[in-house]
Structure 1
Amino acid sequence: MRSAEPALDAAAVWDIATPTRPPVLRGISMAGFRARTGDLVDLNVVPYPAVTVAIDLGDRPLAAEDEDGGRQEGSVVVGLAPNGVHGRGHGIECLQLRMSPLVAHAALSGAGDVGRTVVPLRDLWGPEAERTQERLRLAGSWQDRFAIAEAVLARRCEAGRRVDPEVAFAWGQLVAYRGRIRIERLAAETGWSRKRLWSRFRSQIGLNPKRAAQLVRFDDAAHRLAAGLSAAQVAAEAGYADQSHLHRDVRSFAGATPTAVAGAPWLAVDDIAWAAPAYLTPM
């Protein structure tokens, strides 16, 4: 999860572990998070272009709440561009997986149905969710945990449903062009009508192509802002019509201004945990 809470120095709150070897599976990144104290961690989740699985390994349950008041505890799946998802817990310890929605469609058996919400992992994995969680709890190290998770995901991906090649192509183009490509062009290049692409993409990815493009572009803009570029420069380079357009998109996704995002400590976690985001590699 990525926090948008400006008072939270995310890099100082967490001990973060990452795999020591390159991932075998394309489109998946993994990181382990352990809070440095048992104090309450309270954060808002900011969207990024991946489906997230948080496997709860702590002694006290991790809780996720949505803007409608729904609450889930334990291991959860967060869809693309969630609406107002809020996480909290004491002494949090979890294995977090970020998946390209192409992989999530197979590995999670219905991730597209999650949409912009949060659901318990058991709803998608059944009894295997609890078995995997217990195996991860008993593992001797984070590297052992990463190996266990990768083996489970590899098996599920092999047995799972594939997205349509046209949908995979369209997502890959959105990522490659950082959201700056017209949907009409995508439809033409797939050989489908705009209506068919819209429908199939939405059912398999979880967002319609236009919103997915906005999400990818927002993620690019957020990192440019954090790198120290001005809002005017980011707006021009990230494909926004003007600074007001950038402001509206950043407010829509992050609930903050571009200035706040530029100094947001939650981006420090990305540099540590997701320095090479495999989930954003076109497949």
Structure 2
Amino acid sequence: MPYRSVVSPLHEVVQVPPHPRLRPGVQFYRGFRIHAGRPRERLELPVGFATLLLGFDHRITIGAVGAGRAADPAGAPRKTYTSLLAGIRTNSVIGVHSGTVHGIEVVMRPWAAYAMFGVPMHELTERLVDPTDVAGTTMRRLTDRLAEIPDWPSRFTELDRSLLRRVEDGPGPAPRILRAWDLLVGSAGTMPIADLSRELDWSERQLERRFREQLGLAPKAAARVLRLQHAMRLLVAGRPLAEIASRAGFYDQSHLNREIRTATGMTPGVFLSRTLHAPAAAARVDGTVTTLVLQA
């Protein structure tokens, strides 16, 4: 069912499922129009999905955590986007906008982005790119059309039409990749890669090549992201660190601490405190906290 949240006349979020033929690869659309009145800084945490952001009239500056907002995830000077396409990533980034943002976000499983854009997903790993870099001017024309449409339902209908055409013309993921991703997600990243390889009747080398092509990361790196997401869910739920480390597949509590600090730039205690006391925190997919407002 569509979900609509209006915090104030100047803050609107509308979330809906995509057309049935786009599911389960495309998980949801989120339309937003926000006028916060002052700049906002957001920590975007490591995620196991791809995101297409079609911005209508705003710009977002992206920087790497721990780099003083001076570098992007690849180490280059920070970059500013109106629209962007992001693949799966293992580290957090910080996004800053002026306080006014308006557009649509498409959240999808990594293999759905491969099916939609037809580019090897490892080219998007740990990166953010302008959608026109991978899809040409059709993405800019789509964004312009969506911005001109006056209501959300009509926008989502137009987005369905456009994305369905892309998926129908795209390469389509390998069936065994779909199975592999479901198994890995179902185990929260704890399934041994050797077991995954045997289940699919692929060599580990084949598995790694297909993962990098259609999901973006090697199997072990993808599993690491899923374990981290699981650990963060348990942390926010108030579970003790020792229990989290055991349930989420880490060697010990020290290993868990290092992983969270490496991924977010914070210790588990600081991350939990910021999550509980921040002006807002977003659980965007399957209960996973993926966005933390640092400045609002």
For the criterion TM > 0.5, the same-fold answer is yes
Q: Contact 2:120–2:213 (CA<8 Å) still a contact in 1?
A: no
> Offset at 1:144?
2.6
SS at match of 2:257: helix
Asked if 1:17 corresponds to 2:30, the answer is: no
Separation of aligned partners in 2, 1:208 and 1:32: 32
Task: Rate the CA distance shift 1:15–1:228 in 2: closer, same or farther, 3 A.
Answer: farther
1:109 aligns with 2:122: no
Q: Deviations over 1:84-128 (max 9, x none)?
A: 533222212231111101111011221502111111111122111
Structure 2 counterpart of 1:268? 281
Using the alignment, how far apart are the partners of 1:225 and 1:145 within structure 2? 37
From 79, 84, 87, the counterpart of 2:87: 79
Identity %: 29
How many angstroms apart in 2 are the aligned matches of 1:118 and 1:22? 23
CA shift, 1:129, in A, is 0.9
The answer on 1:99 being equivalent to 2:108 is yes
Please list the CA deviations of residues 22-77 of structure 1 after superposition, one character each: whole Å capped at 9, or x if unmatched. Answer: 7522122221233332422223321211011111122x323334142141421111
Question: Given that residues 235 and 244 in structure 2 are in contact (C-alpha distance below 8 angstroms), is that contact kept between their aligned partners in structure 1?
Answer: yes
User: Does the residue aligned with 1:140 lie in a helix, a strand or coil?
Assistant: coil
2:154 to 115, 139, 144: 144
Judge conservation of contact 1:15–1:36 (CA < 8 Å) in 2.
no
Cα distance between partner residues in 1 of 2:210 and 2:155: 35
2:192 to 182, 186, 201: 182
The structure richer in strand per residue is 2
Residue 239 of structure 2 corresponds to residue 226 of structure 1: no
- Match of 1:228, SS state, is coil
- Structure with the larger helix share: 1
Query: Quick one: distance in 1 between partners of 2:104 and 2:193?
Result: 35
User: For residues 229-254 of structure 1, what are the alpha-carbon distances to aligned partners after superposition, in whole Å with 9 as ceiling and x for unaligned?
Assistant: 22222222222222112112212222
Paired residues of 1:180 and 1:239 also in contact (CA < 8 A): yes
| Whole-Å separation in 1 of the counterparts to 2:257 and 2:101 | 33
Residues 85 and 117 in structure 1, CA contact (< 8 A), matched pair in contact too: no
Highest RCO, 1 vs 2 (Cα 8 Å, sep ≥ 6): 1
TM-score (norm 1): 0.84
Q: Distance in 2 between matches of 1:185 and 1:275?
A: 25
- For residue 153 of structure 1, what is the aligned residue in structure 2? 163
SS at match of 1:222: helix
Cα displacement string for residues 142-170 of structure 1 (whole angstroms, at most 9, x for unaligned residues): 33322222222222111111222222221
- In structure 2, the partner of 1:32 is 31
Q: Give the equivalent residue in structure 1 for 2:129.
A: 119
TM-score (norm 2): 0.80
Stretches of structure 2 that go unaligned for 5 or more consecutive residues are 1-6, 64-71, 289-296
Runs of 4+ in structure 1 displaced over 4 angstroms?
11-14, 273-277
Contact 2:18 2:29 in 1 (8 A): no
User: What is the CA–CA distance in structure 1 between the aligned matches of 2:158 and 2:178, rounded to whole Å?
Assistant: 27
Name the structure 1 match of 2:61.
63
Q: Which runs of 5+ in 1 are unaligned?
A: 1-10, 278-283
